[in-house]
Each structure stands twice: as structure tokens, then as C-alpha cells.
């Protein structure tokens, strides 16, 4: 357990039969004891799920009480009935927790194109409402209730001291495949007992997502359901954060989101490597981001790393077609700390040693250095394995 539930929240995860495996949780409730600030960041896919439409309309807000999440069914591409089901899911959750219908948010993840089994959703909400708690078991059951093909739940947390008061941040996320910014087939809910204005919460979340969930990829496929929510109960302090206190919170929130985001490509379907790509020395961060993302989405780079092959040519080539203008004769590349390419030309290195460093470590680190400025960006992805292909050729979507 790496996170404690912030003051003012209760949670539960239950199994209500949406997933084929009835032993796995598939419905989660996150309940605030009093009206709370809520902010959200969502998929930029033109084809988006009904829960995304509902939550976009309702955030940012200062009155939210409930978040209901189901896994196993995305409620995406389901037309008017899907929208009605999402609204009904929100209403049922609010009713079960003594809140108003418009004080509830919803998230769904799973198979696209199937209608929600609303009888199971209703039963699950009632069951979860009866089991709400704020201990470790409640938190972990809620985290398990939002995952689908993930190997395990994903959680993170921080505590910071502000003006003599302890503020907690705790988050959970899901995601393993169909991952490509902005954002990915992922859901995340982050709770804090800090007191914030809706505008500050929204701005802090957007900034944190830009450096975390928008910097990950598994295969570059943007989803229909991506949602990151921030809920602030205000239970730990009497006044909204401002000045240095707000800055400290934003830093901690960013750290939590990065920790959650890294776990997603690390859990990429069939992945054998988590790949960190650092690009530095660009004129702008956007340039660095574009190069890093292009390298991350290269199937040749990903398969090379899967095979523990320090094939620098694939990496350099991907940087060159990223669309960013730079001097290729001043480009250098390091892989797991070893210089492979400098100022536009290869250098001598021990390929066997570098290959062993890739084989013996789950994490692979790529550093591309340019000479165009002092901007930089970091991006995370997974390698591409036979297991990924096998899984996604069999998985019904």
C-alpha cells in the first residue's frame, strides 16, 4: 500500500457480474462525505463514450459527491441509449449515497459497443454503497474494480505539510492496452483532502496530466473513454490553497500522476520492457515531445528493444521523421548509459554488453541529445512482443 485515503472520502469495489470472472471486482464507488471540488481531463478522440460526455458537462465543479466506475463494458459507441444509461448510472449512484443526481460522475471501461447491463450496475451500486470504507482494504478493492486487462491495480500517493497541516493525495488508475495520448485507454481518479477552488483544481490537473498521462504510449491508439478526475474534499484545511501551498500541491499532484502513468506502459499487454525516452536540447518542449513520441510509437524501435537489440539506427531514423527541424550532425544517442551515436555518426561500443543490460533489466532508457536549445521532454512506452499481438488478436473489442 503506497497511499492513504484522504480525509472526507470513502470507497468500495465489488463484483456485480459485468466481467466474465465473477470473482473480480467490476464496480467501484468513490464517495465524498460533503460536496467537493471536481476537475476532469478527457480523451480528445472525436468518438467518445457516454460517460465522457456526462463528466465533461459536470466538471469543473464545487459540488460533486460521488464517482461510479464500472469495468468490463465501455458504454462507448452506444448512441442515445448509452447516454441514457450513463445518466441513470450517475443517478443510481447519487441516490445510493444520499446525493443529488447532478452531484455524481461516471466512468466506464471495457469492451466497446455493448450496452451496459443496467440491472447488474444497479445491484453493484447498492452493494458498494453498503461496503464503503476508508481503510486499506476499501482503497484496494476500489482500485481493483476499475481495471480490465491490467495485471494488477495501480495506485500512488503523497503526503505534504502545508502551514502545519498534512494534506494527502491518493490516486488509482487502470490501463494496459490501447494506450496513446491524448490520452489513452485509461481511467484515473485522484483524491485529496486539500481545499481548492474549481479553477485551481482544473489548472493543476491539466498541468499534471500534460507531464504524465499525456506522455505514455503502448501502441499509440487513442481510446474513447479516457478520463482523469481530481476530487478535493477540503477536509484537511479551512481555506483554499494559494501561493506556495498551491505550488507544493501541484508538485505533489504531478508526482502522483507520473507514478500512476508509468505503471500503465510498464503493464502494457505482453510487455517485457518499460522504455523511458528523454529528449533534450531542443528549441521547445513541443519539439522534444514530438521526437520522443515518434520514437515511442515506432514499431521497429519497440520490437528491437523487445529483442534486446541496441539498434541505434531505428531510434535515430524515428527522430529524423518526427517532423521537428534539427541539425542531424549534432544529434547524439545513449542507451542504458552507453553512448551509441554522437554528432551524427556511430561510435564504437560493446553491443553484447548493451544487449545484456537490456535483457537483465525491465527498464530501458533512451537519451537523445540535440543542440537546438535547452528544452526537454520525457516519454514512457512499452516494447512490442509476440504476446501483445496474440492477446489483441484474440481479445474481443
User: What is the set of active-site residues?
Assistant: 185
Q: Please give the Cα distance from 115 to 43 (Å, whole number).
A: 20
Q: How many C-beta atoms surround the C-beta of residue 243 within 10 A?
A: 7
Q: Please give the Cα distance from 284 to 302 (Å, whole number).
A: 25
393 Cβ neighbours under 8 A, 6+ residues apart: none
Place of cell 459497443: 113
Q: How many C-beta atoms surround the C-beta of residue 87 within 10 A?
A: 18
Place of cell 447491463: 117
The number of residues in the chain equals 397
Are 28 and 155 within 8 A, CB to CB?
A: no
Place of cell 528549441: 283
CA distances from 80 to 86, 87, 99, 315 (A): 10, 11, 25, 45
Amino acid at each position: 500500500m503506497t497511499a492513504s485515503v484522504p480525509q472526507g472520502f470513502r470507497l468500495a469495489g465489488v463484483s456485480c457480474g459485468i466481467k466474465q470472472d465473477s470473482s473480480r471486482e467490476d464496480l467501484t464507488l468513490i464517495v465524498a462525505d460533503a460536496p467537493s471540488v471536481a476537475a476532469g481531463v478527457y480523451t480528445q478522440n472525436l468518438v467518445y463514450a457516454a460517460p465522457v460526455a456526462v463528466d465533461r458537462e459536470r466538471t469543473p465543479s464545487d459540488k460533486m459527491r460521488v464517482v461510479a466506475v464500472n469495468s468490463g463494458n465501455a458504454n462507448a459507441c452506444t448512441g442515445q441509449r448509452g447516454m441514457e444509461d450513463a445518466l441513470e448510472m450517475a443517478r443510481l449512484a447519487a441516490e445510493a449515497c444520499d446525493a443529488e443526481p447532478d452531484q455524481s460522475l461516471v466512468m466506464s471501461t471495457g469492451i466497446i459497443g455493448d450496452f451496459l447491463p443496467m440491472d447488474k450496475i444497479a445491484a453493484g451500486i447498492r452493494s458498494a454503497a453498503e461496503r464503503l470504507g476508508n481503510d486499506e482494504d476499501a482503497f484496494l478493492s476500489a482500485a481493483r474494480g476499475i481495471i480490465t486487462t491490467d495485471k494488477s491495480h495501480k495506485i500512488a500517493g503523497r503526503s505534504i505539510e502545508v502551514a502545519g497541516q498534512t494534506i494527502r493525495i491518493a490516486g488509482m488508475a487502470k490501463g494496459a492496452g490501447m494506450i496513446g495520448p491524448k490520452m489513452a485507454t485509461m481511467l484515473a481518479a485522484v483524491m485529496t483532502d486539500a481545499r481548492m477552488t474549481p479553477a485551481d483544481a482544473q489548472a493543476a490537473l491539466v498541468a499534471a496530466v500534460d507531464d504524465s498521462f499525456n506522455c505514455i504510449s503502448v501502441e499509440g491508439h487513442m481510446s474513447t473513454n479516457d478520463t482523469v478526475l481530481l476530487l478535493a474534499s477540503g477536509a484537511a484545511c479551512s481555506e483554499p490553497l494559494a501561493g506556495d501551498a498551491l505550488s507544493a500541491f501541484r508538485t505533489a499532484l504531478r508526482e502522483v500522476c507520473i507514478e500512476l502513468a508509468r505503471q500503465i506502459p510498464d503493464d502494457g499487454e505482453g510487455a517485457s520492457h518499460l522504455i523511458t525516452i528523454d529528449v533534450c536540447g531542443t528549441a521547445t518542449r513541443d519539439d522534444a515531445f514530438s521526437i520522443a513520441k515518434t520514437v515511442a510509437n515506432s514499431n521497429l524501435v519497440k520490437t528491437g528493444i523487445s529483442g534486446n537489440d541496441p539498434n541505434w539506427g531505428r531510434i535515430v531514423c524515428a527522430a529524423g521523421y518526427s517532423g521537428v527541424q534539427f541539425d542531424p550532425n549534432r544529434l547524439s544517442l545513449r542507451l542504458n548509459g552507453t553512448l551509441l551515436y554522437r554528432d551524427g555518426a556511430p561510435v564504437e561500443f560493446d553491443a553484447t554488453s548493451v544487449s545484456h543490460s537490456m535483457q537483465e533489466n525491465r527498464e530501458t532508457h533512451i537519451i537523445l541529445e540535440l543542440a537546438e536549445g535547452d528544452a526537454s521532454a520525457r516519454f514512457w512506452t512499452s516494447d512490442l512482443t509476440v504476446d501483445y499481438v496474440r492477446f489483441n488478436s484474440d481479445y474481443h473489442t
